[in-house]
Amino acid sequence: MPVQTIFQSKSTLWIDVTQPTIELLKEIGAQYQIDEYLLEDSIDPDHLPKYEQSGNIKFFLTRENVNQERSSLRGISDVSTKLSFFLINSIIISIHRLESPSVMSVKKDLDALSPEEKEEYTADDIALMLALEIIKTFDAVSTTLDSKLDQLEREVFMDSEPKKDLIKNLYKLKRKSGLNTRILNLSSGWINQFHLLNLKPVELEDLFDKQRDVVSDFDHLTIQVNNLISMYLAMSDQRANQVMKLLAMYSVYFLPITFIAGLYGMNFKYMPELETPYGYFLTLGAMALIVVFTFIYFQRKKWGG
Protein backbone atom coordinates (compact mmCIF):
# COMPACT_ATOMS: atom_id res chain seq x y z
CA MET A 1 0.00 0.00 0.00
CA PRO A 2 1.42 3.44 -0.93
CA VAL A 3 -0.18 5.09 2.13
CA GLN A 4 -0.95 3.38 5.40
CA THR A 5 -1.61 4.37 8.97
CA ILE A 6 0.99 2.58 11.04
CA PHE A 7 0.12 3.99 14.46
CA GLN A 8 -2.82 5.87 15.84
CA SER A 9 -3.83 6.86 19.34
CA LYS A 10 -5.95 9.62 20.79
CA SER A 11 -3.09 12.10 20.55
CA THR A 12 -0.71 10.71 17.89
CA LEU A 13 -0.95 9.70 14.22
CA TRP A 14 1.77 8.07 12.12
CA ILE A 15 1.24 7.87 8.35
CA ASP A 16 3.71 5.98 6.19
CA VAL A 17 4.07 6.59 2.44
CA THR A 18 5.94 4.13 0.20
CA GLN A 19 6.96 4.84 -3.41
CA PRO A 20 4.90 8.04 -3.67
CA THR A 21 3.92 9.53 -7.00
CA ILE A 22 4.07 13.25 -7.71
CA GLU A 23 0.28 13.42 -7.57
CA LEU A 24 0.17 11.70 -4.19
CA LEU A 25 2.78 14.05 -2.77
CA LYS A 26 0.77 17.04 -3.98
CA GLU A 27 -2.29 15.68 -2.18
CA ILE A 28 -0.30 15.19 1.03
CA GLY A 29 1.20 18.67 0.70
CA ALA A 30 -2.22 20.24 0.24
CA GLN A 31 -3.76 18.32 3.13
CA TYR A 32 -1.01 19.04 5.67
CA GLN A 33 0.25 22.36 4.29
CA ILE A 34 3.74 21.03 3.53
CA ASP A 35 6.02 23.08 1.31
CA GLU A 36 6.40 21.55 -2.16
CA TYR A 37 10.19 21.96 -2.08
CA LEU A 38 10.43 19.84 1.05
CA LEU A 39 8.32 17.17 -0.62
CA GLU A 40 10.57 17.26 -3.69
CA ASP A 41 13.59 16.76 -1.44
CA SER A 42 11.92 13.75 0.17
CA ILE A 43 11.88 11.84 -3.16
CA ASP A 44 15.28 12.95 -4.50
CA PRO A 45 17.26 9.64 -4.41
CA ASP A 46 20.68 11.31 -4.07
CA HIS A 47 19.82 14.05 -1.57
CA LEU A 48 22.14 14.43 1.39
CA PRO A 49 20.85 14.14 4.99
CA LYS A 50 19.56 17.40 6.45
CA TYR A 51 17.03 19.11 8.72
CA GLU A 52 14.69 21.97 7.81
CA GLN A 53 11.86 23.71 9.58
CA SER A 54 9.00 25.55 7.94
CA GLY A 55 6.53 27.04 10.39
CA ASN A 56 5.32 24.26 12.66
CA ILE A 57 6.64 21.57 10.28
CA LYS A 58 9.92 19.88 11.14
CA PHE A 59 11.47 18.00 8.23
CA PHE A 60 14.11 15.29 8.77
CA LEU A 61 15.78 13.88 5.67
CA THR A 62 17.78 10.83 6.72
CA ARG A 63 19.55 7.94 5.04
CA GLU A 64 19.52 4.36 6.30
CA ASN A 65 22.01 1.73 5.28
CA VAL A 66 21.13 -0.97 2.78
CA ASN A 67 23.45 -3.92 3.30
CA GLN A 68 23.50 -5.02 -0.32
CA GLU A 69 26.22 -5.83 -2.83
CA ARG A 70 26.38 -3.11 -5.47
CA SER A 71 28.41 -3.31 -8.65
CA SER A 72 29.43 0.33 -8.26
CA LEU A 73 30.29 2.36 -5.20
CA ARG A 74 30.35 5.85 -6.63
CA GLY A 75 28.16 7.69 -4.13
CA ILE A 76 26.13 7.48 -0.95
CA SER A 77 23.06 6.19 -2.81
CA ASP A 78 25.00 2.97 -3.50
CA VAL A 79 25.19 2.13 0.22
CA SER A 80 22.08 3.83 1.60
CA THR A 81 18.50 4.75 0.84
CA LYS A 82 16.53 7.79 1.85
CA LEU A 83 13.95 7.89 4.66
CA SER A 84 12.24 11.24 5.24
CA PHE A 85 9.74 12.14 7.91
CA PHE A 86 7.73 15.23 8.76
CA LEU A 87 6.68 16.20 12.29
CA ILE A 88 3.54 18.32 12.30
CA ASN A 89 2.49 18.78 15.91
CA SER A 90 1.08 15.36 16.86
CA ILE A 91 1.38 13.88 13.36
CA ILE A 92 4.40 12.12 11.86
CA ILE A 93 4.52 11.37 8.13
CA SER A 94 7.32 9.10 6.86
CA ILE A 95 8.16 8.90 3.15
CA HIS A 96 10.49 6.40 1.50
CA ARG A 97 11.02 4.84 -1.92
CA LEU A 98 12.04 1.31 -0.87
CA GLU A 99 10.85 -0.95 1.91
CA SER A 100 12.36 0.46 5.08
CA PRO A 101 13.73 -1.92 7.74
CA SER A 102 13.69 0.95 10.23
CA VAL A 103 9.98 1.62 9.72
CA MET A 104 9.16 -2.07 9.99
CA SER A 105 11.19 -2.43 13.18
CA VAL A 106 9.52 0.54 14.89
CA LYS A 107 6.10 -0.67 13.74
CA LYS A 108 6.78 -4.06 15.31
CA ASP A 109 7.79 -2.46 18.61
CA LEU A 110 4.69 -0.26 18.65
CA ASP A 111 2.37 -3.16 17.82
CA ALA A 112 3.71 -5.01 20.85
CA LEU A 113 2.57 -2.25 23.24
CA SER A 114 -0.58 -2.42 25.27
CA PRO A 115 -3.37 0.13 24.53
CA GLU A 116 -2.44 2.06 27.69
CA GLU A 117 1.23 2.21 26.70
CA LYS A 118 0.38 3.37 23.18
CA GLU A 119 -1.44 6.39 24.57
CA GLU A 120 1.81 7.57 26.16
CA TYR A 121 3.69 7.72 22.87
CA THR A 122 3.93 11.04 21.04
CA ALA A 123 5.05 11.85 17.50
CA ASP A 124 8.39 12.99 18.94
CA ASP A 125 8.84 9.62 20.65
CA ILE A 126 8.19 7.78 17.38
CA ALA A 127 10.64 10.07 15.57
CA LEU A 128 13.30 9.19 18.15
CA MET A 129 12.59 5.48 17.71
CA LEU A 130 12.95 5.87 13.94
CA ALA A 131 16.22 7.78 14.32
CA LEU A 132 17.69 5.06 16.56
CA GLU A 133 16.71 2.33 14.10
CA ILE A 134 18.24 4.30 11.23
CA ILE A 135 21.59 4.55 13.02
CA LYS A 136 21.38 0.87 14.00
CA THR A 137 21.33 -0.08 10.32
CA PHE A 138 24.85 1.34 10.09
CA ASP A 139 25.83 -0.48 13.26
CA ALA A 140 24.77 -3.79 11.69
CA VAL A 141 26.71 -3.21 8.48
CA SER A 142 29.85 -2.16 10.38
CA THR A 143 29.78 -5.58 12.05
CA THR A 144 29.41 -7.27 8.66
CA LEU A 145 32.28 -5.28 7.15
CA ASP A 146 34.46 -6.01 10.18
CA SER A 147 33.93 -9.75 9.66
CA LYS A 148 34.80 -9.29 5.98
CA LEU A 149 37.99 -7.49 7.00
CA ASP A 150 38.99 -10.42 9.25
CA GLN A 151 38.51 -12.79 6.33
CA LEU A 152 40.67 -10.65 4.04
CA GLU A 153 43.36 -10.39 6.72
CA ARG A 154 43.55 -14.18 6.86
CA GLU A 155 43.96 -14.28 3.09
CA VAL A 156 46.78 -11.72 3.22
CA PHE A 157 48.76 -13.24 6.10
CA MET A 158 47.86 -16.93 6.11
CA ASP A 159 47.41 -17.92 2.46
CA SER A 160 50.60 -18.55 0.52
CA GLU A 161 48.90 -17.32 -2.65
CA PRO A 162 46.19 -14.69 -2.01
CA LYS A 163 43.22 -14.67 -4.36
CA LYS A 164 43.50 -12.59 -7.52
CA ASP A 165 40.54 -10.36 -6.57
CA LEU A 166 41.89 -9.64 -3.08
CA ILE A 167 42.97 -6.08 -3.82
CA LYS A 168 39.61 -5.44 -5.51
CA ASN A 169 37.75 -6.65 -2.40
CA LEU A 170 39.95 -4.47 -0.20
CA TYR A 171 39.16 -1.45 -2.36
CA LYS A 172 35.40 -2.15 -2.19
CA LEU A 173 35.64 -2.50 1.58
CA LYS A 174 37.46 0.81 1.79
CA ARG A 175 34.86 2.54 -0.39
CA LYS A 176 31.96 1.15 1.65
CA SER A 177 33.54 2.23 4.89
CA GLY A 178 34.32 5.71 3.56
CA LEU A 179 30.82 6.27 2.14
CA ASN A 180 29.14 5.12 5.35
CA THR A 181 31.39 7.39 7.39
CA ARG A 182 30.43 10.30 5.16
CA ILE A 183 26.72 9.62 5.62
CA LEU A 184 27.08 9.36 9.40
CA ASN A 185 29.04 12.60 9.60
CA LEU A 186 26.44 14.39 7.47
CA SER A 187 23.70 12.91 9.65
CA SER A 188 24.96 14.94 12.60
CA GLY A 189 22.95 17.86 11.17
CA TRP A 190 19.55 16.26 11.64
CA ILE A 191 20.50 14.26 14.74
CA ASN A 192 21.53 17.39 16.63
CA GLN A 193 18.14 18.97 15.88
CA PHE A 194 16.42 16.41 18.09
CA HIS A 195 17.14 18.90 20.88
CA LEU A 196 14.20 20.86 19.47
CA LEU A 197 11.77 18.04 20.19
CA ASN A 198 9.91 17.48 23.41
CA LEU A 199 12.17 14.68 24.63
CA LYS A 200 14.10 14.01 27.80
CA PRO A 201 17.89 14.59 27.67
CA VAL A 202 18.53 11.01 28.78
CA GLU A 203 16.51 9.75 25.81
CA LEU A 204 18.50 11.91 23.41
CA GLU A 205 21.80 10.67 24.80
CA ASP A 206 20.98 7.17 23.55
CA LEU A 207 20.76 8.53 20.00
CA PHE A 208 23.90 10.67 20.28
CA ASP A 209 25.90 7.84 21.86
CA LYS A 210 24.83 5.38 19.18
CA GLN A 211 25.90 7.75 16.41
CA ARG A 212 29.29 8.37 18.05
CA ASP A 213 29.84 4.64 18.50
CA VAL A 214 29.04 3.83 14.88
CA VAL A 215 31.19 6.69 13.54
CA SER A 216 34.06 5.43 15.71
CA ASP A 217 33.57 1.89 14.38
CA PHE A 218 33.74 3.05 10.75
CA ASP A 219 36.73 5.30 11.41
CA HIS A 220 38.56 2.35 12.94
CA LEU A 221 37.51 0.12 10.04
CA THR A 222 38.80 2.63 7.48
CA ILE A 223 42.17 2.83 9.24
CA GLN A 224 42.42 -0.96 9.39
CA VAL A 225 41.58 -1.34 5.71
CA ASN A 226 44.15 1.29 4.70
CA ASN A 227 46.79 -0.47 6.80
CA LEU A 228 45.89 -3.83 5.28
CA ILE A 229 46.13 -2.43 1.75
CA SER A 230 49.57 -0.99 2.53
CA MET A 231 50.67 -4.30 4.06
CA TYR A 232 49.36 -6.27 1.08
CA LEU A 233 51.21 -4.05 -1.40
CA ALA A 234 54.40 -4.32 0.66
CA MET A 235 54.11 -8.11 0.77
CA SER A 236 53.44 -8.21 -2.98
CA ASP A 237 56.63 -6.20 -3.55
CA GLN A 238 58.49 -8.59 -1.25
CA ARG A 239 57.26 -11.61 -3.24
CA ALA A 240 58.35 -9.93 -6.47
CA ASN A 241 61.76 -9.21 -4.96
CA GLN A 242 62.09 -12.85 -3.94
CA VAL A 243 61.39 -13.95 -7.50
CA MET A 244 63.93 -11.49 -8.88
CA LYS A 245 66.46 -12.65 -6.29
CA LEU A 246 65.96 -16.27 -7.31
CA LEU A 247 66.38 -15.43 -10.99
CA ALA A 248 69.54 -13.46 -10.21
CA MET A 249 70.98 -16.41 -8.27
CA TYR A 250 70.37 -18.81 -11.15
CA SER A 251 71.95 -16.37 -13.56
CA VAL A 252 75.07 -16.29 -11.34
CA TYR A 253 75.22 -20.10 -11.45
CA PHE A 254 75.05 -20.27 -15.21
CA LEU A 255 76.97 -17.14 -16.20
CA PRO A 256 80.52 -18.57 -15.80
CA ILE A 257 79.70 -21.97 -17.32
CA THR A 258 77.91 -20.24 -20.20
CA PHE A 259 81.07 -18.20 -20.74
CA ILE A 260 83.18 -21.37 -20.85
CA ALA A 261 80.75 -23.07 -23.23
CA GLY A 262 80.79 -20.02 -25.46
CA LEU A 263 84.56 -19.85 -25.40
CA TYR A 264 84.90 -23.43 -26.58
CA GLY A 265 82.24 -22.90 -29.17
CA MET A 266 84.52 -20.56 -31.15
CA ASN A 267 85.70 -22.09 -34.40
CA PHE A 268 89.44 -21.42 -34.22
CA LYS A 269 91.74 -23.76 -36.12
CA TYR A 270 94.15 -24.20 -33.24
CA MET A 271 92.88 -24.62 -29.61
CA PRO A 272 95.35 -26.47 -27.32
CA GLU A 273 92.63 -28.18 -25.25
CA LEU A 274 91.20 -29.87 -28.33
CA GLU A 275 94.27 -32.12 -28.53
CA THR A 276 94.04 -33.14 -24.86
CA PRO A 277 92.46 -36.61 -24.48
CA TYR A 278 90.51 -35.64 -21.36
CA GLY A 279 89.94 -31.99 -22.22
CA TYR A 280 86.17 -32.43 -22.58
CA PHE A 281 85.82 -34.07 -19.17
CA LEU A 282 88.15 -31.57 -17.51
CA THR A 283 86.07 -28.70 -18.85
CA LEU A 284 82.84 -30.29 -17.57
CA GLY A 285 84.48 -30.84 -14.20
CA ALA A 286 85.56 -27.21 -14.02
CA MET A 287 82.01 -26.13 -14.79
CA ALA A 288 80.65 -28.41 -12.03
CA LEU A 289 83.21 -27.09 -9.52
CA ILE A 290 82.20 -23.50 -10.33
CA VAL A 291 78.54 -24.35 -9.63
CA VAL A 292 79.42 -26.15 -6.37
CA PHE A 293 81.65 -23.35 -5.10
CA THR A 294 79.01 -20.76 -6.02
CA PHE A 295 76.36 -22.76 -4.12
CA ILE A 296 78.59 -23.04 -1.02
CA TYR A 297 79.33 -19.32 -1.15
CA PHE A 298 75.62 -18.46 -1.31
CA GLN A 299 74.87 -20.79 1.60
CA ARG A 300 77.52 -19.18 3.79
CA LYS A 301 76.24 -15.75 2.94
CA LYS A 302 72.66 -17.01 3.57
CA TRP A 303 71.50 -15.68 0.24
CA GLY A 304 69.58 -18.82 -0.58
CA GLY A 305 66.40 -17.63 1.19
Quote the CA–CA distance of 63 and 75 in Å, as a whole number: 13
What is the DSSP secondary structure assignment for residue 266, as one 8-state letter? S
Instruction: Give the pLDDT band of residue 221 (cuts 50, 70, 90).
Output: very high
Say whether pLDDT at 156 is over 60. Answer: yes
Q: Is residue 284 part of a domain?
A: no
Residue 260 falls inside a structural domain: no
Angle (CA) 207 100 34, round 5°: 80
Strand partners, 13: 8, 91
- Give the CATH number for residue 25: 3.30.460.20
Q: How many domains does the chain have?
A: 1
**Residue 122, domain member (yes or no):** yes
Is residue 172 one of the residues assigned to a domain? yes
Confidence at residue 51, expressed as pLDDT on a 0 to 100 scale: 95
What is the pLDDT at residue 69? 61
Question: What are the DSSP calls for 86-127, one per residue?
Answer: EEETTEEEEEESS--HHHHHHHHHHHTS-HHHHTT--HHHHH
Q: Give the model's pLDDT for residue 43.
A: 84
Q: Evaluate whether residue 285 is within a structural domain.
A: no
- Condensed to tens digits (0 to 9), the pLDDT of residues 255-290 reads 777 777 776 777 766 666 667 777 777 777 877 887
What DSSP letter does each residue of the chain carry, written as one string? --EEEEEE-SS-EEEEEES--HHHHHHHHHHHT--HHHHHHHH-TTPPPEEEEETTEEEEEEEEE-----S--SSGGGTEEEEEEEEETTEEEEEESS--HHHHHHHHHHHTS-HHHHTT--HHHHHHHHHHHHHHHHHHHHHHHHHHHHHHHHHHHT-SS--TTHHHHHHHHHHHHHHHHHHHHHTHHHHHGGGGSS--HHHHHHHHHHHHHHHHHHHHHHHHHHHHHHHHHHHHHHHHHHHHHHHHHHHHHHHHHHHHHHHTTS--S--GGGGSTTHHHHHHHHHHHHHHHHHHHHHHHT---
- Domain interval for residue 66: 3-147+162-237
190 located within any domain: yes
CA angle 189, 186, 105 (to 5 degrees): 85
pLDDT tens digits for 54-95? Answer: 889 999 999 999 776 666 787 888 889 999 999 999 999 999
Per-residue pLDDT, averaged over 111-125, amounts to 92
Mean pLDDT, rounded, for 131-152: 91
In a domain, 87, yes or no: yes
Would residue 38 count as lying in a domain? yes
